[in-house]
A and B are shown apart, each in its own frame.
Chain A
Amino acid sequence: MNKNIGGQKTTDAKIQKDIRELVLARIMAASDDLRVAIGAIEYTKKEMIENVKEGNEIGKEIMEIQMEYLRDMAKGAIYQSP
């Protein structure tokens, strides 16, 4: 039982690591001219990368935005009428 729980934790951690790497790769490939204002704060590409690497609140928010977008694209949500 414990072994399974430990195994699940390992899998979740691996998935989170993969997601972080995917998001980082997407941000690193972005244009240097792009700035993103999320709420009251503006971020450069470098700052977004730092936040995602640190795994802080804004880093998690950036990851959520990117992953929600990718999931919706995969589901074909963008082709649904408004």
Chain B
Amino acid sequence: MNKAILVTRPDHDLITTYLFQWSEYVINLANKKRIKVLDLSSKKANEKNFTSYIVKNNPILVFFNGHGNKDIIAGYDNEPLVSINKNEKLLEKKIVYARSCDAADNLGELCIKNNTLAFIGYKKKYTICYSHASVNHPLQDDIAKLFITPSNLIPISLLKGNTAKDAYRKSQESMARNFSFVLSTNATSAQRDSAPYLWINKKYQVLLGDPNASI
């Protein structure tokens, strides 16, 4: 076990709870591959722990789940974990996937300037549609899965040894497939109504940095 990945997954509101639960698939795969998982779950997703885990363990992949904006990625209770011009250098020589709003914009670009290997994220708000009837069972939510499964493919593909470019491509292709599905007659009306939001996620998901980076 010489490789490590770090996952931040707060659960202080409904959407972070969805991402918290869906991140289990990524963590389970890493465990199967005997890759060390630094799991900053729930309240552990704070800046102090984040800094300490990065410095001590030097994970090759950092997978953020949480709210954000152009300048920060946040953890539990929206405490900033990484902030522009403050501590983005913690992400030096790492592959980053930020499942957060807007973070690929200023922060992602600055990370690449500061030697982050690759940064995959979103240049606009990351949007999730979900079923009101499924809020107590996020993993059984047939609308949310159309949004979260393609995004899980980024860390899953990287864990399987794919390059950042291939992980990004697989995620894009998965979103395209889901998009075609929601426009089909096989989709429920609620799934069909989620199409604009799925489209925007696909359009504004970006890969910055070295496309050939891998873990």
* Chain A residues within 8 Å of B, Cβ to Cβ: 29-40, 42, 44, 61, 65-66, 68-70, 72, 78, 82
B3-44 Cβ-contact flags toward A at 8 Å (1 or 0): 000000000011100000000000000000000000000000
Number of residues on chain B facing chain A (CB within 8 A): 35
Name B's interface SS: helix
Q: Are B200 and A42 in contact (CB under 8 A)?
A: no
Q: Are A33 and B196 in contact (CB under 8 A)?
A: no
- A72 partner residues in chain B, CB cutoff 8 A: 199, 203
- A42 partner residues in chain B, CB cutoff 8 A: 14-15, 130
Q: Are A40 and B195 in contact (CB under 8 A)?
A: no
Q: Can you identify 17 A-B contacts, CB atoms within 8 angstroms?
A: A31-B190, A31-B193, A34-B129, A34-B131, A34-B132, A34-B193, A35-B135, A37-B14, A37-B15, A38-B127, A39-B126, A40-B101, A65-B197, A68-B203, A78-B179, A78-B199, A82-B176
CA distance A57 to B84 in the complex (A): 24
B94 adjacent to chain A (CB < 8 Å): no
List 10 tightest A-B contacts by C-beta distance, closest first.
Answer: A82-B172, A69-B196, A31-B190, A30-B193, A34-B190, A31-B189, A37-B15, A40-B67, A39-B125, A33-B190
Q: Are A82 and B203 in contact (CB under 8 A)?
A: no
- A38 partner residues in chain B, CB cutoff 8 A: 125, 127, 197
- B199 partner residues in chain A, CB cutoff 8 A: 68-69, 72, 78
CA distance A31 to B188 in the complex (A): 9
Q: Are B197 and A35 in contact (CB under 8 A)?
A: no
Q: Are B131 and A69 in contact (CB under 8 A)?
A: no
Q: Separation in Å of the B82 CB from the closest CB of chain A? A: 17
Nearest opposing residue in chain B for A68, CB measure? B200
Q: Apart from A39-B125, A65-B197, what are 13 other A-B pairs with CB-CB below 8 Å?
A: A30-B190, A32-B132, A34-B132, A35-B132, A36-B128, A38-B127, A39-B126, A66-B196, A68-B200, A68-B203, A69-B199, A78-B176, A78-B199
Q: Separation in Å of the A9 CB from the closest CB of chain B? A: 29
- B173 partner residues in chain A, CB cutoff 8 A: 82
Q: Separation in Å of the B159 CB from the closest CB of chain A? A: 21
Taking A33-B132, A61-B125, A82-B176 as contacts, is the C-beta distance between A39 and B197 under 8 angstroms?
no
B78 adjacent to chain A (CB < 8 Å): yes
- B193 partner residues in chain A, CB cutoff 8 A: 29-31, 34
Nearest opposing residue in chain A for B205, CB measure? A82
- A29 partner residues in chain B, CB cutoff 8 A: 193
Q: Separation in Å of the B211 CB from the closest CB of chain A? A: 14
